[in-house]
A and B are shown apart, each in its own frame.
Chain A
Amino acid sequence: MTTFTAPTIAWAELAPVLIVLGAGILGVGVEAFVPQRLRRTVQLVLALAATAGALVAVALLWHGVHKTGGSRLFDGAYILDGPALILQGIIVGLALLALLVIADRTSLGEDAFAPSGAAVPGSDYEQLARRKGLVLTEVYPLVLFATGGMMIFPAAGDLLLMFVALEVLSLPLYLLSGLARRRRLLSQEAAMKYFLLGAFASAFFLFGAALLYGFAGSIKLADIATATSSVLGMDSLLFAGLAMLLVGILFKVGAVPFHAWTPDVYQGAPTPITGFMAACTKAAAVGVLLRVVYVVLPGLRWELKPVLWTVAILTMLVGTVIAIVQTDIKRMLAYSAIAHAGFILTGVVAWNQRGISGTLFYLLAYGIASIGAFGVVSLVRETNDAGEVLGEATHLSQWAGLGKRSPLLAGAFTLFLLSLAGIPLTAGFTGKFAVFTAAVAGSATPLVIVGVIASAAAAFFYVRVIVLMFFTDAAGTAAERTTVVRSEGLTAAAISIAVAATILLGVLPSPVLTLVTQAAKFIP
């Protein structure tokens, strides 16, 4: 007779995740029980309180994790070590910032989401929903679920939990991508592509996990790592399994050659969601990649080095080169996101402690600049002949002369672009310096050389936007019809926080660098 022993649940260690997911479930209840006119307010307060609360919980846990190095919960299925906790902090902090942009209704009184996601684009029902002023407040719980999944993802110590977290974070994102208020067909197409390719990637991941189970007889990362040490030569189960697992993860990271979804999804998704995805999904996926690379792969680093190097170099080059020819600002930022994935990978494959801390810092710096940049994009709109404000002015030519009309907004955008380009005294430079130093110390100097060449080329397209905004006259061009809508205050707050953080992490990065350095130790 088998007895069932209930697992002991370490509530405190799980608090950050539980708060976010709990608030998500509460949010579903809010949809059912709170009258419509109050829903947005309640959802917004709930979501902001949950993310802020989770951030506090992370901060409270830090002391213990720093002292003990972390703990293994549920028999090693959930590992709360330094990198996992810091990543949870980064993800939930960035989610808080992204929520501010998501919630903003601007001076037009409408948010970035379709009034009714189920309405067929262009149908009478859609018109009706718009006239009635319906608001899609389900967005908030969806964002919270995705955030919860992202927080579990890098803390997962076995492949099964990792897969569950992957799905929990992916499914809400597929939905959110399809909910844009304007250009709905483009948005739905993006969601469809994301879903199909994401499903493929998930299948790869799952099949890889199955093969690894076949190889090691366990789904625990630590056991797989132990098993790799006894391998001689090429073990087909191990390498096929690892390859498939990495495909699944690199898809989420947005690394070449698994990047094809990025530009379409970034362009089609509602802009605030794009910012959220760019910042948080990347942090979560890179976090998992870090864990796999540093916990499972050390014994196999010589075998896998050529593969990861190739992926990193391709990602930097393809992202940069294609971004140069883009004419749509969201697509440009999407390709720049790919290039940044490549820069991050140089830190990941450094295989040293500096690599971990540098990557963590880079994720934070990149995430802040991304949310800020997409927040700015969400405010720059085009108008029709009647002067009516329409959707976002995403074509680059429409940004001409923005610096003259909205110097502050254009100035903030310039700062984010400079940070993405890695100009000194911005957070982006500190991050780039951190990963490149790690890579040189880890004898990956060729990657750094490709990295600096790609950075120089990347500077071109960032600078081009600055030139457009400040030095190009809008008179007589399509840009005359571009207007900037006023934020309700939330996006403005998010942009201000992002500006302050970008400068602070560029000028005085020491406290954060110390923090990530102290945290940069995985426990198996």
Chain B
Amino acid sequence: MQASSGFPWLTALIVLPVIGAAALWALPAASRRLVRPIALGVSLAVLVLAAAMALQFDTAAAGTHQFSELVSWIPAFGVSYAVGVDGVGLLMVLLSVILVPVVVLAAWREQGQDLGRLRHYLALVLLLEAFMIAVFSARDVFLFYLLFEAMLIPVYFMIGGFGGAQRRYAAVKFLLYSLAGGLVMLAGVIALYVSGPGGKGGFLVDSLVGVHLPVTTERLIFLAFFLAFAIKAPMFPLHTWLPDAAQNAPAGTSVLLVGVLDKVGTFGMLTLCLPLFPNASRWAAPAIVVLAVISVIYGALLAISQQDIMRLIAYTSVSHFGFIVLGIFAFSSVSVEGSSFYMFNHGLSTGGLFLLAGMMARRHGGSQRISDFGGLQKVTPVLAGLFLVVGLSALALPGLSPFISEFMVLVGSYGRQAPAAVVATIGVVLAALYILITYQRAFTGPVRAELADAKDATYRERWVIGPLIALMLVLGFYPAPALDLVRDPAKSTIEQVGVQDSVPTVQGAAVTGSAPTTAASEGGAK
């Protein structure tokens, strides 16, 4: 990788939130009122900076890593500080920086009027933002691992320090699951380094890609990495920490946890597992596809039966992550493109759902039980409308961006893993069930007495959800900007895995990246 000269965009993006977090912690008690404006200002500044960076991104070369920086960090271990983003990385960085201001805004009235606690919470959010940007742009396996593990600490405190009744249990379960996965990955990281070229840049992804490993070694290292990513993602049967964490964390934490952090798992599968261990990936793909399909169906079924709305959303995510993993391991450029785009859309859609669920809970004294709600449609029409739109995005309604990605995953997978794609389609139907049944139970029917004077969505709350819906609508009708970013990376990933690309054909015409746009408009009649 060539370190490009010029402005260190990514480092600036990483450092800025850290400074913000430090500023929040250093804030004297007298000026605590500034906590919220500072946090929002910093997160918006990061957003602007990231947008400026995205404009500089050369979409024509989206498959290469841009804005690269390379500094030797721990030469004794072959570790470098190497960052750079390709199209997928950029998309994930953008997702992180979009969600953080939203979360900050959503936390405006959280923690009561205790500004001291809010300060800790917002500082942790900003710290986490830095870690998220760094992990999606890391181009050094060691650096990636380091951030992958270090990220646990702020999240752990965000769940354990600010969550609901069972927060301690949930926080510890989250941490131990993740640590266990991470430590197994550590063994893989070490083994990879020892079998790699070694030397000063021995951990750079670029110097590790294409290293020939003995068959068994490659498979074992692949499994070590995959286990950590599958826990993170989370995939059946390693998903049980997620519902507990989501149920007990504040809504904003769940947004970042499920919306962004868990993507590190699928992102890692896509950008580390596949290029570094192509043979082992092909070897393991059938089993992984089966697990992915089980995740799709199992997550959806469990979601239908949940009583707690946060748990419900967590299980829907297990189902969605199943789709993403299916797309990645179906090894067709369309499915991989779809999965990359899915990661972005899922963050918007699930993030919105968690935030709306949090707003609902606040109107009912913090209760997250779906059966405690009813008839909210009449009392809070705007809130109900927002929930319906975001909910429909989660069930992949055409016209909203999640539809496009889900469609691409299914179409792309069909060519290579037809049975899996067919079974996974059931998940789409189940999605309609869990979203619509929930809407019916919480928003329609007679108004419950204790909700009779609930306030409708405030301006702040509309500003929290509005941008997410707008983005999904825009990308739902015009997904080209996002698809341009993921097309080349998907192609090069498929090349690295070394399989013949399977291009689905519709009436003899090859479906290219932009074709689903037409599919989207056709699907509108569905």
Q: Which residues of A contact B (CB under 8 A)?
A: 357, 418, 421, 423-425, 429-430, 433-434, 436-437, 440-441, 445, 448-449, 452-453, 455-456, 459-460, 463-464, 467, 470-472, 509-510, 513-514, 517
Binds A, one of B170-178, B319-327, B431-439: B170-178
- Residues from chain A with a CB closer than 8 A to the CB of B167 are 471
* Contact status A433-B160, CB under 8 Å: no
CB distance from B206 to the nearest CB of A (A): 21
- Residues from chain A with a CB closer than 8 A to the CB of B187 are 436, 440, 445, 448-449, 452
Q: From B147, B160, B167, B187, name the one whose CB has the most chain A CB atoms within 10 angstroms.
A: B187
* CB < 8 Å neighbour of B77 from A421, A445, A472, A513: A513
8 A-B pairs closest in CB distance: A513-B76, A452-B183, A424-B146, A456-B180, A424-B149, A471-B160, A456-B183, A424-B150
Within 8 A of A (CB), among B297-348: none
* Contact status A510-B74, CB under 8 Å: yes
Closest Cβ neighbor of B78 among chain A residues? A437
- Residues from chain A with a CB closer than 8 A to the CB of B152 are 423
Rounded to whole angstroms, the CA-CA distance of A453 and B227 in the bound complex is 14
Within 8 A of A (CB), among B171-204: 171-172, 175-176, 179-180, 183-184, 186-187, 190-191, 193-194
* Contact status B193-A471, CB under 8 Å: no
Rounded to whole angstroms, the CA-CA distance of A459 and B75 in the bound complex is 28
Given known contacts A449-B187, A471-B167, A459 and B76 CB-to-CB distance under 8 angstroms: no
* Contact status B183-A440, CB under 8 Å: no
* Contact status B74-A448, CB under 8 Å: no
Closest Cβ neighbor of A403 among chain B residues? B161
Closest Cβ neighbor of B176 among chain A residues? A460
- What total of A-B pairs shows CB separation below 8 Å? 85
- Residues from chain B with a CB closer than 8 A to the CB of A436 are 186-187, 190
Q: What 1/0 mask marks residues of chain B from 63 to 81 whose CB sits below 8 Å from any chain A CB?
A: 0000000000111110000
Q: Which residues of B contact A (CB under 8 A)?
A: 73-77, 145-147, 149-150, 152-153, 156-157, 160-161, 167-168, 171-172, 175-176, 179-180, 183-184, 186-187, 190-191, 193-194
* CB < 8 Å neighbour of B168 from A357, A455, A472, A510: A472
Rounded to whole angstroms, the CA-CA distance of A148 and B428 in the bound complex is 72
* Contact status B186-A452, CB under 8 Å: yes
* CB < 8 Å neighbour of B76 from A455, A463, A464, A514: A514
CB distance from A357 to the nearest CB of B (A): 8
* Contact status B150-A471, CB under 8 Å: no
- Residues from chain A with a CB closer than 8 A to the CB of B74 are 430, 509-510, 513
15 contacts between A and B (CB under 8 A): A423-B152, A424-B149, A436-B186, A445-B187, A445-B191, A456-B176, A456-B183, A463-B176, A467-B168, A467-B171, A471-B160, A471-B161, A471-B168, A472-B168, A514-B75
Task: Given contact pairs A424-B149, A445-B187, enumerate 9 new A-B contacts (beta carbons under 8 Å).
Answer: A357-B76, A425-B150, A436-B187, A445-B191, A456-B179, A460-B176, A464-B172, A471-B171, A510-B73
Rounded to whole angstroms, the CA-CA distance of A460 and B171 in the bound complex is 12
- Residues from chain A with a CB closer than 8 A to the CB of B146 are 424-425, 429
Interface of B is mostly: helix
Closest Cβ neighbor of B74 among chain A residues? A510
- Residues from chain A with a CB closer than 8 A to the CB of B193 are 437
Rounded to whole angstroms, the CA-CA distance of A459 and B186 in the bound complex is 14
- Residues from chain B with a CB closer than 8 A to the CB of A517 are 76
* Contact status B172-A463, CB under 8 Å: yes
Rounded to whole angstroms, the CA-CA distance of A449 and B183 in the bound complex is 9
Rounded to whole angstroms, the CA-CA distance of A470 and B124 in the bound complex is 15
* CB < 8 Å neighbour of B183 from A418, A455, A463: A455
* Contact status A467-B176, CB under 8 Å: no
- Residues from chain B with a CB closer than 8 A to the CB of A423 are 149-150, 152-153
CB distance from B118 to the nearest CB of A (A): 16
* Contact status B191-A440, CB under 8 Å: yes
- Residues from chain A with a CB closer than 8 A to the CB of B76 are 357, 509-510, 513-514, 517
* Contact status A467-B190, CB under 8 Å: no
Closest Cβ neighbor of A514 among chain B residues? B76
Closest Cβ neighbor of B143 among chain A residues? A424
* CB < 8 Å neighbour of B153 from A418, A510, A514: A418
- Residues from chain A with a CB closer than 8 A to the CB of B190 are 433, 436-437, 440, 448
Rounded to whole angstroms, the CA-CA distance of A429 and B152 in the bound complex is 14
CB distance from A456 to the nearest CB of B (A): 4
Rounded to whole angstroms, the CA-CA distance of A424 and B131 in the bound complex is 13
- Residues from chain B with a CB closer than 8 A to the CB of A467 are 160, 168, 171-172
Closest Cβ neighbor of B191 among chain A residues? A440
Rounded to whole angstroms, the CA-CA distance of A470 and B160 in the bound complex is 8
* CB < 8 Å neighbour of A440 from B145, B149, B156, B194: B194
* Contact status A459-B171, CB under 8 Å: no
Closest Cβ neighbor of B73 among chain A residues? A510
Closest Cβ neighbor of A454 among chain B residues? B183
- Residues from chain B with a CB closer than 8 A to the CB of A437 are 77, 190, 193-194
* Contact status A459-B149, CB under 8 Å: no
* CB < 8 Å neighbour of B161 from A449, A455, A470: A470
- Residues from chain A with a CB closer than 8 A to the CB of B172 are 460, 463-464, 467
Closest Cβ neighbor of A452 among chain B residues? B183
- Residues from chain A with a CB closer than 8 A to the CB of B149 are 423-424, 429
* Contact status B160-A441, CB under 8 Å: no
CB distance from A133 to the nearest CB of B (A): 40
Rounded to whole angstroms, the CA-CA distance of A514 and B200 in the bound complex is 13
CB distance from B81 to the nearest CB of A (A): 11
Rounded to whole angstroms, the CA-CA distance of A510 and B179 in the bound complex is 25
Rounded to whole angstroms, the CA-CA distance of A145 and B167 in the bound complex is 50
* Contact status A470-B157, CB under 8 Å: yes
Closest Cβ neighbor of B149 among chain A residues? A424
Closest Cβ neighbor of B163 among chain A residues? A471
- Residues from chain B with a CB closer than 8 A to the CB of A429 are 146, 149
Rounded to whole angstroms, the CA-CA distance of A452 and B183 in the bound complex is 5
CB distance from B135 to the nearest CB of A (A): 12
Q: From B147, B183, B190, name the one whose CB has the most chain A CB atoms within 10 angstroms.
A: B183
- Residues from chain A with a CB closer than 8 A to the CB of B145 are 424
- Residues from chain A with a CB closer than 8 A to the CB of B73 are 510
- Residues from chain B with a CB closer than 8 A to the CB of A441 are 194
